Structure 1
Amino acid sequence: MDHEKSSGADRAILDIPLEDQMFQGPSPDEQALVEGMAKMGWRLLQGADRASGEGDKSLVVVEDAGGERSTFHLLAILAFTTARRRMSVVVGMPDGTVVLLTKGADSSVLPLCTDDSAFGSNPSDKKAAEAEGRDPEVKGEGGKRHLQEFASQGLRTLVYARRTIPQEEWVQWRDGPWKRAERAIVGREEAQAEAASLLENSMTVCGVSAVEDRLQRGVPETVGQLRTAGVRVWMLTGDKLETAVNIGRSCGLIGGGMSVVEISAGGHGEEGGGEEGEEGEEELERRVRRRLEALSQEQSSGGGDRMAVVVDGTVLSLILTPVLATSSKAKEEEGGEGEKGFSSRVKRWGSKGWSSSSHHISTAFSSLLSLPRRLLCRPPPSSLSSIGPRPLLDLFLDVALPAATVICCRVSPAQKAGVVRAVRTREPRSVSLAIGDGGNDIAMIQEAQVGIGIAGREGLAAARASDYSIGQFRFLARLLLVHGAWSYGRVAKFTLGTFHKCACFYVTQAAFQAMNGYSGTSLYEQWTLSLYNTIFSSLPVMVVGVTERACTARTLLRHPELYGSGRRGEAFNLRVFWRWQGTAILQSILCVAIPYLSYCGIGGSGEGVGSTPQLYLLGITVYTSVLIVVTCKVCFLEARYWSPLTLIAAVLSLGAWALFQLSYSLAYPKAGSDMGYSIRGVFIRAAFKGVDFWLVILLTSSLALLPDLAAQVTWNVFRPSLAFMHQEREAWERRTRTRARWWQWRRDVGIEEGIEADWPGKEEEWEKEAPLAPKATGKLGRDDTTGPMGWLTRVRIPWKRPKTNPAILPMEETVSI
Structure 2
Amino acid sequence: MRVLSFDDLLWTPKMAVRTDPQLLKLLNNDSSNEEAKLVLEFFLALAACNTIVPLVLDTRDPKQKLIDYQGESPDEQALAYAAASYGIVLVERTSGYVVIDVLGDRQRFDILGLHEFDSDRKRMSVIVGCPDKTVKLYVKGADSSMFGIINKSLELDNVRATEAHLHKYSSLGLRTLVVGMRELSQPEFEEWQLAYEKASTAVLGRGNLLRSIAANVECNIHILGASGIEDKLQDGVPEAIESLRQAGMKVWILTGDKQETAISIGYSCKLLTNDMTQIVINNNSKESCKRSLEEALARTKEHRVASSIGSPYPVLASESSGTVLALIVDGNSLVYILETELQEELFKVATECSVVLCCRVAPLQKAGIVALIKNRTDDMTLAIGDGANDVSMIQMADVGVGINGQEGGQAVMASDFSMGQFRFLVPLLLVHGHWNYQRMGYMILYNFYKNATFVLVLFWYVLYTSFTLTTAITEWSSLLYTVLYTSLPTIVVGILDKDLSKSTLLAYPKLYGSGQRNEKYNLNLFVLNMLEALWQSLVVFYIPYFAYRQSTIGMSSLGDLWALASVIVVNMQLAMDIIRWNWIIH
Pairwise TM-score range, normalised by the shorter structure: 0.7 to 0.9
2:129 is the alignment partner of 1:92: yes
Q: In 2, distance between residues paired with 1:458 and 1:301?
A: 46
Alignment of 1:473-622 (within 5 A): 473-600=422-549, 603=550, 606-607=551-552, 613-622=553-562
1:38 alignment partner in structure 2: 84
* Equivalent residue, structure 1, for 2:382: 433
Counterpart of 1:109 in structure 2 is: 146
Q: How big is the shift at 1:282?
A: 2.7
Partner of 1:184: 202
2:250 corresponds to: 232
Counterpart in 1 of 2:418?
469
- C-alpha contact 1:437 1:456 (8 A) present in aligned 2: yes
1:94-136: CA deviation from partner (whole Å, max 9, x where unpaired): 2111110000000111101112256x34xxxxxxxxxxxxxxx
Q: Distance in 1 between matches of 2:538 and 2:568?
A: 15
- Alignment-derived partner of residue 297 in structure 2: 292
Equivalent-residue separation in structure 2 for 1:445 and 1:117 (angstroms): 44
CA distance in 2, matches of 1:9, 1:41: 17
Q: Render the CA deviation track for 1:391-411: whole Å, top value 9, x for unaligned.
A: 422222112113211000011
Question: CA contact under 8 A between 1:523 and 1:619: conserved in structure 2?
Answer: yes
Cα offsets for 1:607-664 (capped at 9, x unmatched)? 3xxxxx3423322222222111111212x222223222222xxxxxxxxxxxxxxxxx
Aligned ranges 1:203-282 → 2 under 5 Å: 203-255=221-273, 257-265=275-283, 272=284, 281-282=286-287
Q: Distance in 2 between matches of 1:444 and 1:470?
A: 17
2:99 aligned partner: 60
2:571 pairs with 1:643: no
1:654-669 correspondence runs (5 A): none
2:75 corresponds to which residue?
29
What corresponds to 1:394 in structure 2?
A: 344
Equivalent position of 1:404 in the other structure: 354
On the 8 A contact 1:12/1:30 being kept in 2, the answer is no
Note if contact 1:9-1:27 (Cα within 8 Å) is conserved in structure 2. no
CA pair 238-117 structure 1, distance change in 2 beyond 3 A: farther
Distance 1:167 1:397, change over 3 A: same
Contact 2:289 2:337 in 1 (8 A): no
Distance 2:465 2:339 in 1: 69
Matched with 1:304 is: 318
**What do residues 12-51 of structure 1 show as CA deviations (whole Å, max 9, x unaligned)?**
525335654543332111111122223333333x23221x
Q: Is the 8 A contact 1:77 1:88 kept in 2?
A: yes
Q: CA deviation at 1:209?
A: 0.5
C-alpha contact 2:115 2:210 (8 A) present in aligned 1: yes
In 2, the alpha carbon distance for the partners of 1:639 and 1:178 equals 69
CA distance in 1, matches of 2:462, 2:55: 84
- SS of the equivalent of 1:419 reads helix
User: Secondary structure of 2:525's partner?
Assistant: helix
- Structure 2 CA distance, aligned partners of 1:282 and 1:250? 33
Q: Distance in 1 between matches of 2:56 and 2:406?
A: 17
Query: Could you list the per-position Cα deviations for residues 506-535 of structure 1 after superposition, in whole angstroms to 9, with x for gaps in the alignment?
Result: 101112233455455423133323332122
Equivalences for 1:121-136 in 2 at 5 Å?
121=157
Which letter maps to 1:412? Answer: A
Corresponding residue SS for 1:94: coil
Q: Secondary structure at the match of 1:243?
A: helix
3-state DSSP class of the match of 1:16?
strand
Shift of the 545–107 alpha-carbon distance from structure 1 to 2, 3 Å rule, reads same
After the TM superposition, which residues 770-809 of structure 1 pair with which residues of structure 2 at under 5 Å, given as runs? none
Cα pair distance change 1:581/1:192, threshold 3 Å: same
For the aligned residue pairs, the C-alpha RMSD in angstroms reads: 2.1
- Give me the whole-angstrom Cα distance separating, in 1, the residues matched to 2:582 and 2:343: 51
- SS of residue matched to 2:278: strand
Q: How many pairs does the alignment contain?
A: 520
Q: Are the aligned partners of 1:63 and 1:69 in contact in 2 as well (CA < 8 Å)?
A: yes
Amino acid of the residue matched to residue 529 of structure 1?
A: S
Q: State the alpha-carbon separation in 2 of the partners of residues 467 and 187 from structure 1.
A: 32
Aligned-residue offset at 1:542? 1.4
Structure 1 residues 59, 528: CA separation in 2 closer, same or farther (over 3 Å shift)? closer
Q: Give the corresponding residue for 2:92.
A: 47
Alignment partner of 2:584: what SS?
A: helix
In structure 2, relative to structure 1, the CA distance for the partners of 1:25 and 1:520 (3 Å cut) is closer
Q: Give the distance between the partners of 1:565 and 1:411, measured in 2 at CA.
A: 34
Distance 1:300 1:446 in 2: 38
Q: Residue 501 and residue 9 in structure 1: after superposition, are their counterparts in 2 closer, same or farther (change >3 A)?
A: farther
Q: Give the structure 2 partner of residue 711 of structure 1.
A: none
Aligned-partner Cα distance in 2 for 1:161–1:117: 14
Question: 2:54–2:67: 8 Å Cα contact kept in structure 1?
Answer: no
Q: Distance in 2 between matches of 1:472 and 1:490?
A: 26
Q: How does 1:335-354 map to 2 (within 5 A)?
A: none
C-alpha distance in structure 1 between counterparts of 2:140 and 2:359, whole Å: 19
**CA pair 288-537 structure 1, distance change in 2 beyond 3 A:** closer
CA contact (8 A) 2:87 2:101 kept: no
Q: What is aligned with 1:663?
A: none
Gaps of 5+ in 2: 1-48, 59-63, 308-316
Pairwise CA distance, 1:453:
1.1
CA deviation vs aligned residue, 1:250-288 (integer Å, no higher than 9, x gap): 1121135322222212xxxxxx5xxxxxxx543443344
Choose the corresponding residue for 1:10, options 29, 51, 54: 51
Aligned partners of 2:52 and 2:70 also within 8 Å: no
Per-residue deviation, residues 737-761 of structure 1 (Å, max 9, x unmatched): xxxxxxxxxxxxxxxxxxxxxxxxx
Shift of 1:439: 0.8
Q: What TM-score do you get using the length of structure 2 for normalisation?
A: 0.84
* 2:112 counterpart residue number: 75
Mark the CA change 1:466 to 1:643 in structure 2 (over 3 Å): closer, same or farther: same
CA distance in 1, matches of 2:361, 2:381: 19
Partner of 1:416: 366
Q: Map Cα deviations across residues 650-703 of structure 1 (whole Å, 9 max, x no partner).
A: xxxxxxxxxxxxxxxxxxxxxxxxxxxxxxxxxxxxxxxxxxxxxxxxxxxxxx
Residues 19, 527 of structure 1: alpha-carbon distance in 2 compared, 3 angstrom cutoff:
closer
Among 180, 183, 187, the alignment partner of 1:168 is 187
Residue 301 of structure 1 aligns to a residue in which SS? helix
Amino acid aligned to 1:78 = H
Q: Is the 8 A contact 2:293 2:349 kept in 1?
A: no
Structure 1 residues 167 and 406: alpha-carbon distance in aligned structure 2, compared to 1, 3 A threshold? same
Per-residue CA deviation, residues 281-340 of structure 1 (Å, 9 max, x unaligned), is 434433443333333433443342321111111122222133xxxxxxxxxxxxxxxxxx
C-alpha distance in 2 between matches for 1:464 and 1:9 = 24
Residue 477 of structure 1 aligns with an amino acid whose one-letter code is: V
Amino acid at match of 1:43: V
Would you say 1:450 and 2:491 are equivalent positions? no
**What is the alpha-carbon distance in structure 2 between the residues aligned to residue 209 and residue 289 of structure 1?**
37
C-alpha distance in 2 between matches for 1:599 and 1:409: 77
CA contact (8 A) 1:259 1:307 kept: yes
Which stretch shows the higher mean deviation, 253-262 or 493-502?
253-262
Letter in 2 for 1:615: M
Between the aligned partners of 1:283 and 1:537, the Cα distance in structure 2 is 64
Using the alignment, how far apart are the partners of 1:145 and 1:481 within structure 2? Answer: 43
1:447-470 deviation line (CA, Å, top 9, x unaligned)? 111111111200001111111111
1:195 alignment partner, SS class:
helix
Of structures 1 and 2, the larger Rg is shown by 1
